[in-house]
């Protein structure tokens, strides 16, 4: 992208202006607010060029111009100066009462933190059962052959699954199975456990064979039904912030947005995708095929638990977002959450 220094300056000015006012930017505004020693007419010429290059569009002929997704991408990649997080905001994150309650609450509170500080909507994707390393598992006998399998990770994340056997086991028997499986499976993810189950089922010299066979058969069925590969849980907080954003002052737009939020699959796919990359990532408008929506961007970061990347979190807002403050905010929150999980 070979823009002249001056064109870049003007593009930056337009983007910054639009980010702070949400109003289409005219040539006069540029010269007045950012004195570049240049006349409106000149700016107009350059703006016209920038439009041709796909960085700007006009809502209508007699309006100023608005940055495109391409412009935001360019801005973020080549001219964004990320501030370090202001001391005060960092304090706020550190003092936010995240540490109370169980894992669910931790996730939920984190979305609220993200939302409160960004004034946008906060999202957190919880660790996926299939990829969580469990330290302990427990089988609790309920009535009617039903057994509740409870998995606990190092970080205190609890997942559970109902297992329905056609045979009623005593709690004692379950405890034997439980002891055996704990020994066999501790430190594994659900995915790894499933593989181990297949392995064990080959080996019929096992002394728990009959019970285990039953158990594992059911387990296998469960994973066939997609339970092991189940989607991660998605937490959303601060949805109502969306109503304060002038970009979304349109009823139909809002409806579309909320429908998308209710259909969590797409958002989860996107967040899952973000697991593969390092650091903070920004998805602008139509850049991603899973949550493609005019004028909406996501700022996403991965968070770690005991070393590994275990989930992602971030913020959803208008593409017209003050990235220089939101990015460090998301980054810091991800770190803090990671620390909390690891030292929980």
Partner DNA sequence: TATTAGCACTCTATAGTATTGAGTGCTAAG
Partner DNA sequence: CTTAGCACTCAATACTATAGAGTGCTAATA
Task: Determine, following the binding rule CB under 7 A, whether residue 199 of this chain makes contact with DNA.
Answer: no
Task: Determine, following the binding rule CB under 7 A, whether residue 20 of this chain makes contact with DNA.
Answer: no
Give the binding range for its own copies (CB under 8 A) out of 13-21, 137-145, 267-275, 290-298: 137-145
Task: Determine, following the binding rule CB under 8 A, whether residue 238 of this chain makes contact with its own copies.
Answer: yes
DSSP code for 244: G
Task: Determine, following the binding rule CB under 7 A, whether residue 28 of this chain makes contact with DNA.
Answer: yes
Task: Determine, following the binding rule CB under 7 A, whether residue 45 of this chain makes contact with DNA.
Answer: yes
Which of 9, 90, 138, 229 lies at the binding interface for its own copies (CB under 8 A)?
Answer: 138
Give the binding range for DNA (CB under 7 A) out of 34-42, 91-99, 185-193, 253-261: 34-42
Burial of residue 53 (CB within 10 Å: 0-12, 13-18, 19+) is: middle
- Number of Cβ within 10 Å of residue 42's Cβ equals 16
Rounded to an integer, what distance in angstroms lies between the CA atom of residue 139 and that of residue 137?
7
Q: Which does 231 bind (CB under 5 to 8 A by kind): DNA, its own copies, none?
A: none
Residues 46-85 as x/- pattern, contact with DNA by CB under 7 A: -xx--x------xxxxxxxx--------------------
Cβ proximity to DNA: between 24 and 295 the closer is: 24
- Number of Cβ within 10 Å of residue 171's Cβ equals 11
Helix, coil or strand: residue 60: coil
Site for DNA in 264-293 (CB under 7 A): none
Give the binding range for its own copies (CB under 8 A) out of 21-29, 87-95, 186-194, 234-242: 234-242
Exposure letters 172-184 (e unless 16+ CB within 10 A, then b): ebbebbbebbeee
Site for its own copies in 82-111 (CB under 8 A): 100-103
Give the binding range for DNA (CB under 7 A) out of 33-41, 121-129, 140-148, 265-273: 33-41
Rounded to an integer, what distance in angstroms lies between the CA atom of residue 315 and that of residue 136?
33
- Number of Cβ within 10 Å of residue 43's Cβ equals 23
Number of helices followed by number of strands (H, E) in the chain: 12, 10
Cα four-point dihedral sign 284, 290, 296, 297: negative
Helix, coil or strand: residue 159: strand
Contact footprint for its own copies (CB under 8 A): 100-103, 135-136, 138, 140, 142-144, 146, 148, 150, 152, 154-156, 158-162, 225, 227, 230, 237-240, 243, 249, 251, 254-255, 258-259, 261-262, 343-344
């Amino acid at each position: 992208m070979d823009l002249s220094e001056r064109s870049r300056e003007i593009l930056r000015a337009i983007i910054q202006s639009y980010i702070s006012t949400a109003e289409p930017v005219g040539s006069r505004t540029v010269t007045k607010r950012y004195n570049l020693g240049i006349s409106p007419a000149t700016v107009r010429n350059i703006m016209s060029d920038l439009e041709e290059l796909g960085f700007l569009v006009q809502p209508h002929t007699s309006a100023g111009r608005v940055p495109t997704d391409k412009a935001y991408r360019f801005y973020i990649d080549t001219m964004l100066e990320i501030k370090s997080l202001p001391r005060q905001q960092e304090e706020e994150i550190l003092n936010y009462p995240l540490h109370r309650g169980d894992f669910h609450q931790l996730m939920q509170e984190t979305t609220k933190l993200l939302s409160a500080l960004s004034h946008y909507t906060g999202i957190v994707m919880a660790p996926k059962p299939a990829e969580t390393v469990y330290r302990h598992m427990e089988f609790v006998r309920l009535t009617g052959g039903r057994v509740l399998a409870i998995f606990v990770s190092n970080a205190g994340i609890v997942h559970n699954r109902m297992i329905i056997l056609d045979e009623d086991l005593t709690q004692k028997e379950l405890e034997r199975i439980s002891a055996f499986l704990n020994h066999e499976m501790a430190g594994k993810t659900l995915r790894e456990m499933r593989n181990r189950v297949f392995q064990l089922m080959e080996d019929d010299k096992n002394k728990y064979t009959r019970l285990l066979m039953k158990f594992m058969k059911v387990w296998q069925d469960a994973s066939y039904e997609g339970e092991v590969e189940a989607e991660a849980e998605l937490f959303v907080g601060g949805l109502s912030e969306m109503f304060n954003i002038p970009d979304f002052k349109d009823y139909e737009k809002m409806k579309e947005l909320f429908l998308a939020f209710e259909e969590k699959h797409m958002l989860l796919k996107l967040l899952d995708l973000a697991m593969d990359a390092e650091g903070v990532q920004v998805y602008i408008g139509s850049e991603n095929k899973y949550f493609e929506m005019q004028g909406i961007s996501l700022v996403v970061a991965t968070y770690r638990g005991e070393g590994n990347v275990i989930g992602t979190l971030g913020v959803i807002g208008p593409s017209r977002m003050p990235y220089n403050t939101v990015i460090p905010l998301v980054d810091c929150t991800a770190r803090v959450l990671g620390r909390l999980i690891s030292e929980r």
